[in-house]
Amino acid sequence: MMLVVELTVMVTKTEAAYPVSTDPMRVKQTYLDMIHIDQAWAAAGDSRASIVVAVVDTGVDLTHPDLVGNLVDGVNLLQPSKKPIDDNGHGTNVAGIIAASINNDKGIAGIAPIAKIMPIKALESDGTGGEAKLGEGIKYAVDHGAKIVVLSLGLNKYSDYMAGVVQYAEDHNVLLVAAVGNESMSVKYPAAYPTVLAVGGVTADKQADSRSNFGPELDLVAPWDVYTTALGGGYQYQDGSSMSAPQVAGAAALVWSKFPTMTAYEVRSQLEQTADDLAETGWDAKTGYGLLRVDMALTKPYKEDRFEPNDRQNQAAKLPIHTSVKATLSSALDEDWYAIDAAYDGYIELWLQNTDSSGIRVRFDSGETFIANNSSDRTQPFKVKVTKGRTYLQLQSVDRERKTGINYSLRTDFVIYTDPFEDNDKQYKAFALPERSQTIHGTFHQKGDIDWFVLNLEHSGSMRLKLSVDTGRIDPMILFQKEGEKSISIDQGGDGGIEISSLMDVFPGQYYIRVSNTKDYTEPITGEYTLEIEYTPKLIDPNEPNDKSYQATFAAMNSVYEGLFNTNDDVDWFEFRMGQNGLAQVRLTNIPTSRTMYATLYDSTLKEQGFYRNEYGTDQLFLEKTLNAGTYYIKLQANQWFMSQMYRLKIGSYTLVSGFADIEGHWAQDAISKLTEQGVISGYGNYRFAPNQSITRAEAATVLTRALKLTKRKDLKFSDMDASHWAYENVAKALQADIVAGYPNGTFGPDRTLTRMEMTQMLARSMNMTGKKRGNSPFNDVDESYWGLGILKQMSADGWITGYADGSFHPDEQATRAEFVSMLVKVMNR
């Protein structure tokens, strides 16, 4: 490991290698101000070491006046006999950002204007290309003296070939800088390889651009929008992560020019550790280590261990789950803590290399512990199972007595979990799914993984399949096949896309579904797919044929009958019998909300008794009608056929007592009937008296007024009751008779429920009772301090109230309508 390099230097205007730009279009390069280029140029000192930066792209405009002085020989990999002339413009854009000449009275200024551009044409005129030419371009650059290779392009596919090329560059101390991509998805390759500096983009307000790819491989961000050189000697505005990456490459050239003894790793680390942290403290998936700060990269001292202080778990340095770093245990007592966030369940793989024979102990928060030393098999990682979320690991020296520090290299990777449907890579191993609509989540956890599923359908119906993914590294594909028949392939989307089948008719039999990635991946993919199966069985109406009245299905009382309509003309007839005069109830539920159902009621002579329909958008229809004993029919229709779900029909009948369907057999039945016949009470108008429902103060006052036939009234002055209230007149009469009173705050509380004590007091006042003071409390839950004790004593002593069997009265509980009516009848009969 190299010693700490002191980067802070005193710079005078005469020493500066890069004076302030006077280029006429510098004013349009606002992105340079975001990365503090003027301060960086001032700090560059007098070093003029020329760093060669290879631009592996569409070529470069070799005659552009702002570039022509800063070019070295390159190569055209597509047509080796020709020069690497740009026929697209992208490569020229990139080159200008890095090394456009400064203060030449032309155009713009490059970030590292004394750097040399090596143009390598590896992409077609439309900007497309493959990994073979990309790898060849990187290797050419390494072999012909480039120190930095910028790759403003990307692929979604990992390959062992490209991984080997990237390692070749690292082994030869060449820094690779690559754009992450612009699809709001996973970081593209080669940016995604651990030793490549992956660069995303930010907006002018230093927010991650929504189009910039992101993820655990992201290292830095730089401005998204630039103004740069263009084909034909011109200039233009451009945007994208492919414009962000060359800014980092230019910054690297400045750092390497000033500190030529640095390694590629150290340059990469210096840019990361001096970045302007934008989001949460430390690394994050949207902005990496932060925004490129060229001035800080040239002035801040390089740290061999940039993660200190991280001696405790609460100081743990956050690492990407795919990374390669170097650090130091400074002494036997030093501990290094790291935090790694996993987006899924799976396994963290960790490679740890050091030169100390005593070794380093690695302990995960799960309790698993490993020892790494110079005798370890460095080709095999430590592998630890983790759950989605944060995992901590602690590193410390095995030798707790040692006097010197230990330098180490740490590399991390991640393998996603194996989904619960494995092993289903073969058709004969297909995982059986239930016959219904469902959503499942799966993974491609190993090389060449494909997933087979099978559905055994017992009913005809329709089916639609939808396959989506959460990463651009999967190009999803569905294969659908009925056993013994030709398969159907569904593959219309691209990387990270969605595949949706048409609505397909299916019949009883065995159906296979294969989910795969059309990319030939040589490693597990960190990402999930979601398979949605929409299955609608063709249901069978069990009551057919019942299209005519004489075919009507007999419906027993309180039983449920299901049905559907297979044509627009379909009707369903049901017959039911009323054993005695009473209230018939017909309830239809589970109606599709996109349908309207109609119900027509007939008597035994098929004379219409009523026509009903449900409100559109509701899933039920309810009707009730008083009928005499006899046979009746109900005819059901819908405005449009439906077979995806069954409606449910339930018919019931109730005996009416005094016009109410809910008091037969009730303990207060006689009292309710008597007051109903006298016109004192009337219920709620829907054949319901609701005897067990609480009674309100307004209702109680109204009933008392009617029962006592009160006529005189007093104007009310309650703040919560005006003349428009439905009970105003009755409350006014009850107030005049001194039967009711308001509350101390000036309100009456007409809609408040009446307590048992208030009920007792009202009825006592109606009999001019004022209460008694002598004697003990008649109830064990009412003490001497209770406000209504006197009334309770008198009412109990005179036999009007008795309380409960346990000797309690529950004075503050709500009084029911039945209780009030029952007591009122006693009062009226006194």
pLDDT per residue over 234-268, tens digit each?
999 999 999 999 999 999 999 999 999 999 999 99
Q: How far apart are the C-alpha atoms of 779 and 441, rounded to whole Å?
A: 64
For 430-487, the pLDDT digits (tens) are 999 999 999 999 999 988 899 999 999 988 889 999 999 999 888 899 999 999 999 9
At 667, phi and psi to the nearest 5? -60, -25
Nearest Cα neighbor of 498 from 191, 240, 185, 126 is 185
Q: What is the band of 47 on the pLDDT scale with cuts at 50, 70, 90?
A: low
Q: Choosing from 101, 242, 766, 796, which is the catalytic residue?
A: 242
- State which H helix or E strand residue 330 sits in: none
What are the tokens at 130?
A: 């493959």
Q: How far apart are the C-alpha atoms of 829 and 826, rounded to whole Å?
A: 5
For 140-185, the pLDDT digits (tens) are 999 999 999 999 778 888 888 999 999 999 999 999 999 999 999 9
Q: Write the DSSP symbol of residue 617.
A: T
For 636-678, the pLDDT digits (tens) are 999 999 887 899 999 999 999 999 999 999 999 999 999 999 9
Q: What is the band of 344 on the pLDDT scale with cuts at 50, 70, 90?
A: very high
| pLDDT (0 to 100) of residue 1 | 31
Strand partners, 347: 385, 415
Reduced 3-state DSSP string for 654-701: ECCECCECCCCCCCCHHHHHHHHHCCCCCCCCCCCCCCCCECEHHHHH
Which of 17-21, 216-220, 801-805 is least confident? 17-21
Which residue in this structure is represented by tokens 């006689």? 670
Q: DSSP of 347-361, one letter per residue?
A: EEEEEEEES-SS-EE
Tell me the average pLDDT across 799-818.
94
Nearest Cα neighbor of 364 from 324, 398, 325, 395 is 395
At 696, phi and psi to the nearest 5? -90, 165
Which residue did the predictor score with more confidence, 330 or 101?
A: 101
Nearest Cα neighbor of 182 from 204, 154, 207 is 154
Which residue did the predictor score with more confidence, 345 or 355?
A: 345
Statement: residue 14 has pLDDT above 50: no
pTM comes to 0.65
Q: How far is CA 154 from CA 177, 289, 618, in A?
A: 11, 21, 52
Residues 53-71, buried b or exposed e (16+ Cβ, 10 A)? Answer: bbbbbbbbbbebebbeebb
| pLDDT (0 to 100) of residue 472 | 87
Q: How far apart are the C-alpha atoms of 134 and 127, rounded to whole Å?
A: 12
Statement: residue 61 has pLDDT above 80: yes
Q: Choosing from 23, 57, 66, 541, which is the catalytic residue?
A: 57
Statement: residue 11 has pLDDT above 80: no
- Hey, is 292 helix, strand or coil? coil
- Hey, is 611 helix, strand or coil? strand
| pLDDT (0 to 100) of residue 8 | 31
Reduced 3-state DSSP string for 122-161: CCCCCCCCCHHHHHHHHHHHHHCCCCEEEECCCECCCCHH
Q: Is 431 buried (19+), middle (13-18) or exposed (0-12) by CB count in 10 A?
A: middle
Tell me the average pLDDT across 769-779.
89
Statement: residue 492 has pLDDT above 60: yes
Statement: residue 698 has pLDDT above 50: yes
| pLDDT (0 to 100) of residue 10 | 32
| pLDDT (0 to 100) of residue 774 | 87
Q: What is the band of 355 on the pLDDT scale with cuts at 50, 70, 90?
A: low
Are the beta carbons of 265 and 176 closer than 8 angstroms? no
| pLDDT (0 to 100) of residue 12 | 33
242 is catalytic: yes
What percent of the chain has pLDDT above 70?
96
Which of 43-47, 201-205, 588-592, 607-611 is least confident? 43-47
What percent of the chain has pLDDT above 90?
79
Contacts of 406 (CB under 8 A, 6+ apart): 328, 329, 354, 355, 356, 360, 397
Strand partners, 132: none
Which of 418-427, 680-689, 718-727 is least confident? 680-689
Domains of the chain: 26-299 (3.40.50.200), 313-416 (2.60.120.380), 427-537 (2.60.120.380), 549-654 (2.60.120.380), 669-828 (no CATH)
Q: Choosing from 90, 334, 449, 541, which is the catalytic residue?
A: 90
Cα diameter, the chain: 123
Amino acid identity for residue 778 in this structure:
P
| pLDDT (0 to 100) of residue 431 | 97
810 is catalytic: no
Q: What is the band of 3 on the pLDDT scale with cuts at 50, 70, 90?
A: very low
Average model confidence (pLDDT) across the chain: 91
